[in-house]
Structure 1
Amino acid sequence: MSKDTFLKGAFILTVAGIVVKIIGSVNRILLSRLLGGEGVGLYQMAYPIYLLALSVSSAGIPVAISIIVAEKIARSDYRGANHVFRISLGVLAATGLFFTFLLYYGAGWLIEHNFVRDHRAYYAIAALAPAIFFVTVLSSYRGYFQGLQMMTPTAVSQIFEQLIRVVTMIAFAYILLPRGLEFAAAGASFGAGPGAAAGLLVLLYFYWRHKPGFKQQMENQPQIKQESSLSIIGRIVKLALPVSLANIMLPVVSNIDLLIVPARLEVAGYSVEQATEMFGYLTGMAVPLVNLATILTASLAASLVPAISEAYTLGNKQRIYQRTATAMRISNLITIPSFVGMTLLATPISLMLYGTPNAGVPIAILSVGIFLLGIHQVTTGVLQGLGYTAIPVINMAVSAVVKIVMSWVLTAVPSLGIMGAAWATVADFGVAALLNMFFVYRYVGFSLDIKDTFKAVLASGVMGVVVLLSYDAIMSQMLHNTLATIGSIAAGVTVFGIVLLLVGGVEARDIEQIPRIGGKIAAILTTLRLLRR
């Protein structure tokens, strides 16, 4: 069995993430047209409850499993790694079953006590219950494979899970629509169950496919004293609990935004309708674009956790530093040009994607957060790999307090309005990133490489000029925003890549990590003396 390097693993997860996002976007369009605003509203009343149940039952567990499994593999303790997997599988199967029954039988209680105001959402909540069991169990398999630094099983399972989920959501919603919106919304909710089951089947296939290799490694390993089951469970809980708290914190902060931002916009002098509209531009349009731009850095963070854990277990400080530096350099090569391009094309992108230029200002401000969020994600992966899973959560809590205070103060300023809320979100990313960087420097000795960062900034600056000139040139000829936006982005990406190669901002080993074609591309570029070894 061959494990992926963490860069190759990140690339695999990134491709899967993009495919999943595309399928999800198609799903939102089809579901909106099928159910309308009221039906989607019923579905959305159920989904946050499902996410909360998942956060409590399994979130953070894959990270904990990957850390401990990577640690065992680094010591060539394959029996120990398998023991960790089996213990986690048993625990998660039990908790998944518990929360499945809790959500199913608790749906009526939520309606009766007005936690969910519309009684028609009962069916949608109950229909989501089976998915909890399957998602919880498959999280154990994903954590195991990630600990082995094999990212392909996770990536393939994510794609199949999303694909089957969308197909069954649309099919059941369509079939049940004649019976009423509440049943159609329940049909859409039920799709999460078959999707998760499909993802689990994919992981079972990979597990059985590699089982002979696992067995041979266990048979050939030297005799190593095994950790007790109680000790393993204790370590999983200790590592997973902070990650779970972080996952719970994200929707909590979003709900605080919902309470603060529209109300403070009204204080600034906007009507209720205007405040709602601007809040939609920020949270429904600008924020998803920032998250889209950081798919690679999120994948880097996931791939870094077992890679750092392995190096830390072996006491190889140099490898920890090198992997941290490589991940940060790759992150900057993605986030800096994304920040520049999105800032310059904020209004055209808003018009192209959402049919309105009004989200342009929030998009332009939040684009600054792409660079900061990338740093935060990578450093979180490093700290989790070192076993300090609580530190990023504490840093997130501190940054959330900063965001709340700034949102309260800045959003109420008439000259700022929604821009104040956007800058508060940027500050949230920035504080979390800086605090994480402090601890990474403390434990790893790493700080941003000024020379490499300058190369990315230089290439992005040239790209920015080309983007503006291309957009103006195409618009003057065609007067078509979508064509001008896509054309200027394509020109910018091309120029960025060329300038980056010319200034030596990319190394051959970075290109070689691209599966299948990376080696050939690197060889050609090296022959042309455009790559450094």
Structure 2
Amino acid sequence: MQQQTDNGHGANQFLKGTLVLTAAGIIVKVIGSLNWIILSRVLGGEGIGLYQMAFPIYLLVLSVSSAGIPVAISIITAEKAALGDYRGANRIFQLSLMLLIAMGLGFSVLMYFGAGWLIELRFIRDARAYYALLALSPAIFLVTVLSSFRGYLQGWQIMTPTAVSQIVEQLFRVATMLIFAALLLPKGIEYAAGGASLGAGAGAAAGLVVMLYYYWQLQRDVAEKERLLSGIFPRENAGSILRRIIILALPVSLSSIMLPLVANLDLFIVPARLEVAGYTVEQATELFGYLTGMAVPLVNLATLFTAALATSLVPAVAEAYAVGNAERIKLRTAAAMRLTNIVTIPAAAALWLLATPISALVYHAPEAGEVVRVLAISVYLLGLHQTTTGVLQGLGHTAIPVINMGIAAVVKVGLNWYLVALPALGIKGAAWATAADMGVAAFLNLYFVYRYTGFRMDLGALARNIFAAAVMSAGIYVFSGAASGLLTQTQTTLAAMLAAVIVYAVVLLLLGGLSERDILQIPLVGSAVVRVLSGLGLLKS
């Protein structure tokens, strides 16, 4: 019954979308990592440097260009679809698409003709980055338009188009980067960097073709329903629609701008305070690289699932909110928080225990292990923040997560200033400050989730997750010690990670932390997994 569970199509669609986006995120990350290795060999440090000078400008302009509108499209589309107002959903998309086309085109032109100005005024120190800026400018228009289609289809809780388009986009992006970087290298390193930058536009164009196909399919499916229900819902004024979109989108846009802003504050504060702690300029730069270039990306990689979960959660909550189903909102919030705990608690424990060998395996820099270990708790805190942000955005409270991020950023700046300058902490102080930043934002979000949904964390389930993660950690410790004399460090680390997943899953099953219903909701393999586990006597229904 509804008051007991949120099963059926809605719940299954919600989990399916999350898993599809997670799988796509992993594939995109793997392709991107391989590309970066090959591209670094083609361009060398100098060419990569030129590319990296232009790319942050592109990302900043892109965040302003899309302005959080795709999230707003997702929210309002989910509301309209839940009510059966299919014509209203289409009207929302058409108006927002026109707005994004205008913004994307305007910012593309601005970046193209402003590239020389950026170099003349020394915002970019090396004039050779000019060609990379020119090559990236068309991508702003294409990615902005692409994001509108993704937001619309996500509003219908259809995540497969986004996943497929992300993979296709990355494949075309990588192929274009490598081909044009190699072709233009004989003309000079600046042309090769420009050639590599063409990948962003080519990838976005390919992704847009994919999204247009899925959009056409959706429109064909809902056309008849739209015709039958066209007279039931009044035609909404374009001005009121655009006002609603802007009200929802503006805070999301501010949050996307806040992330690079906080990163720049770290750049100004952390190296300088490391020097106060007694480190040389070279040592401070190296330690800062361990934090921002190694530890933080590992945390982001470990939270791919919760990032996908948050994306799926926005339209799922918005749909329930539109029909006034408070119980369904609470149930979907509880399900999302439960999944967050199941995934991020063991990931945080494993990263804490294997910090040094993972740093050696991924970066060939075991020295980064200390920073990674401190930041490991951030896997849970960031996952919690992402999930609660998804809930609040789905409820239409898009400004609250941004305000909470601002409060957390102030805390982070203060802690960075004090802790990093302590010789006993140094860069670990910055890691603690980063963890505190994520924790403050997450728990402030959690308070507002409780306030608007009545959701309370299930402490019994949380305790089971923690206990299973503790048993898993003990298993990793014993296994690593036993295998160290038999396997190489890389083999030991990979085997320990695989063993950790198995031990955690088995312990959680034995504790009743995973049910048959949970596993059946896993797309494609759920039924087969249930049969195997039932045969082994590990599954509780």
TM-score (norm 2): 0.97
Q: Deviations over 1:301-355 (max 9, x none)?
A: 0000000001111111110010001000111111000111110111111111111
Q: Deviations over 1:417-463 (max 9, x none)?
A: 00000000000000001100110111111121101111111111110
Q: RMSD value over aligned CA atoms?
A: 1.3
Match of 1:415 among 395, 411, 424: 424
Q: Deviations over 1:57-107 (max 9, x none)?
A: 104111100000000011100000011111111111111111110000000
The match for 1:332 is: 341
Aligned-partner Cα distance in 2 for 1:165–1:150? 24
Aligned-partner Cα distance in 2 for 1:3–1:141? 23
The match for 2:483 is: 474
The match for 2:65 is: 57
Q: Which residue identity does 1:252 align to in structure 2? A: L
Aligned-partner Cα distance in 1 for 2:222–2:98? 19
SS at match of 1:226: coil
Q: Which residue identity does 1:192 align to in structure 2? A: A
Q: Which residue identity does 2:212 align to in structure 1? A: L
Aligned-partner Cα distance in 2 for 1:86–1:509? 39
Aligned-partner Cα distance in 1 for 2:368–2:353? 13
The match for 1:15 is: 23
Aligned-partner Cα distance in 2 for 1:143–1:409? 41
The match for 1:262 is: 271
The match for 1:273 is: 282
Deviation at 1:153, TM superposition (A): 0.4
The match for 1:291 is: 300
Give identity over the alignment, percent: 60
Q: How does 1:72-151 map to 2 (within 5 A)?
A: 72-151=80-159
- Seen in structure 2, the aligned counterparts of structure 1 residues 2 and 304 have a Cα distance that, compared at 3 Å, is closer
Match of 1:24 among 17, 32, 36: 32
Does 1:250 find its partner at 2:259? Answer: yes
Deviation at 1:508, TM superposition (A): 2.2
Aligned-partner Cα distance in 1 for 2:200–2:274? 36
Does 1:397 find its partner at 2:422? Answer: no
Give 5+ residue unaligned stretches, structure 2.
Answer: 1-8
Aligned-partner Cα distance in 1 for 2:410–2:11? 40
Contact 2:12 2:521 in 1 (8 A): no
Match of 1:314 among 323, 332, 338: 323
Count of residues paired in the alignment? 532
Aligned-partner Cα distance in 2 for 1:277–1:69? 47
The match for 1:207 is: 215
Q: Deviations over 1:105-126 (max 9, x none)?
A: 0001101111111111111011
Deviation at 1:179, TM superposition (A): 0.6
The match for 1:445 is: 454
Q: Which moved more, 1:514-523 or 1:223-232?
A: 514-523
Contact 1:504 1:530 in 2 (8 A): no
Aligned-partner Cα distance in 2 for 1:80–1:526? 47
The match for 1:46 is: 54
Q: How does 1:496-511 map to 2 (within 5 A)?
A: 496-511=504-519
Deviation at 1:526, TM superposition (A): 4.5
Contact 1:3 1:150 in 2 (8 A): no
Aligned-partner Cα distance in 2 for 1:243–1:529? 47
Give 5+ residue unaligned stretches, structure 1.
Answer: none
Q: Which residue identity does 1:336 align to in structure 2? A: I
Aligned-partner Cα distance in 1 for 2:237–2:453? 30
The match for 2:5 is: none
Q: Deviations over 1:268-297 (max 9, x none)?
A: 000011001101111111100000000000
SS at match of 1:387: coil
Aligned-partner Cα distance in 2 for 1:312–1:523? 36
The match for 1:355 is: 364
TM-score (norm 1): 0.98
Aligned-partner Cα distance in 1 for 2:127–2:220? 51
Q: Which residue identity does 1:302 align to in structure 2? A: T
- Seen in structure 2, the aligned counterparts of structure 1 residues 163 and 59 have a Cα distance that, compared at 3 Å, is farther
